[in-house]
Amino acid sequence: MAESNFIDYVKILCRSGKGGAGSRHFHRAKYIPKGGPDGGDGGRGGHIILRGNSHMWTLLPLRYQRHIFATDGQAGGADRSTGKDGEDRIVDVPVGTAVFDAETGGFLCEITEDGEEVKLLRGGKGGLGNWHFATSTNRAPRYAQPGQPAIEKSVVLELKLLGDVGLVGFPNAGKSTLLSAISAAKPKIGDYPFTTMEPSLGIVNYRGDKSFVMADIPGIIEGASEGKGLGLRFLRHIERNAVLLFLIPADSDDIRRDYEILLNELREFNPDLADKSRVLAISKSDMLDEELREEIAKELPEDVPSVFISAVTGQGLTELKDLLWREINSEDNQVKQTLTHRDLDVRHRVEEEDNFIFQQEDEEDEELPPMTDEDWEDEFWDEESSVN
């Protein structure tokens, strides 16, 4: 994957802006010796905002921009002048990007539409100036609120392809050949294992004016959920698919056993995948005669609809499209949640990304303890630590 531009996993460090401090300024004029407090409020810190961009198909830009920091809000000034707000940082990501907390692995948010914006980290609120605290008994308050501190968080971005049907199978099962036969996609095809090194999408035309999207991922081998082969790294892409198409070649020694192995790997990766609609296709069926096909049909799993196909001769492809379209639009499938997210764990992380070191020494920034909104009402700066 080092030579590929398709990057679907990135770990970055984000930091919102600090809120500006309120001012404790007092009005001074030649003929107004006691003008009273007029310190302005501090500006809010900048937000970190994620925005969906349908023109992006990879997280490659973020691989070379690992630190994303918003600017701090400015302090308030005289004459009740409010400090300038910090500049927001808008980060464009491909549609289908899911965000996880890098420390806990918990799911945070997702971007599923073009132009959709999600405020990942909120900038700190600006502190109130001293004029807010003037009362009949305290006409010259010499304190003001500090701004709220910045929020810093390391997050993991995962790109999950948006497709209606996800292809699942062992290497050399004919997944790429099938995708190229029923769509305009041109995936790499070869007579050796792991020809597909990155996911690809194809739009399948169905009976004239209808269509659905099919996603192809690298082949899965037994033990993929534990990190073997390439399947583990790309299994995330079928979490968004409404229907899973299991593809097993007709020359397999035991089709039922191969199906169970593939299904078990999906369960181990994410148990929710077992609840998705499934279809079983026996590829390379052009090498079978009628008698052998009937014998194989008796051994197929009974809990999943199956079809014999050949991407080379076109055998069974129309029947396969009909079956997939029916499963995609079935009432049971519409009720199920098609977008499933599992929390990240050690097996699901990309080692070279997680080993990236974020630590930066910043002597000017002092870490402050987290505070609630109620704390800010009673927390003020004394005269020595005030601004202006």
Res 338 pLDDT > 50:
no
Q: Report the distance separating Cα 244 and Cα 263, nearest Å.
A: 10
Q: Which residue has the higher pLDDT, 224 or 299?
A: 299
Q: Which residues of 107-117 are buried (b: 16+ CB within 10 A; e: fewer)?
A: ebebbeeeeee
| Residue 364 scores a pLDDT above 50 | no
- Please name the residues in contact with 378: beta carbons below 8 A apart, sequence gap of 6 or more: none
Query: Mean pLDDT over residues 63-78, rounded?
Result: 92
Compute the distance between CA of residue 114 and CA of residue 185 in angstroms, rounded to an integer: 22
Residue 173 confidence (pLDDT) above 80: no
One-letter identity of residue 142: R
- Label each residue of 111-176 as H, E or C: ECCCCCEEEEECCCCCCCCHHHHCCCCCCCCCCCCCCCCCCEEEEEEEECCCCCEEEEECCCCCHH
pLDDT of amino acid 352: 62
Give the 3-state secondary structure of residue 216.
strand
Strands 97-101, 107-111: pairing kind: antiparallel
> Among residues of the chain, what percentage have pLDDT more than 90?
28
- How many CB atoms neighbour CB 165 within 10 A? 27
The owner of tokens 């041109």 is 186
Q: In Å, what is the CA distance from 145 to each residue of 74, 97, 132?
A: 13, 38, 10
Query: Of 24, 38, 21, 12, nearest to 124 (Cα)?
Result: 21
Report field, pTM of the whole predicted structure over 0.75:
no
pLDDT at 146: 93
For residues 94-121, average pLDDT: 90
195-199, 321-325, 384-388: which has the minimum mean pLDDT?
Answer: 384-388
Confidence of residue 387 (pLDDT cuts 50, 70, 90): very low
Q: Is the pLDDT of residue 362 over 60?
A: no
How does the average pLDDT of the chain come out, rounded? Answer: 79
pLDDT digits (tens, 9 = 90+) for 183-209: 876 655 555 444 455 677 788 888 878
pLDDT at 233 over 80: no
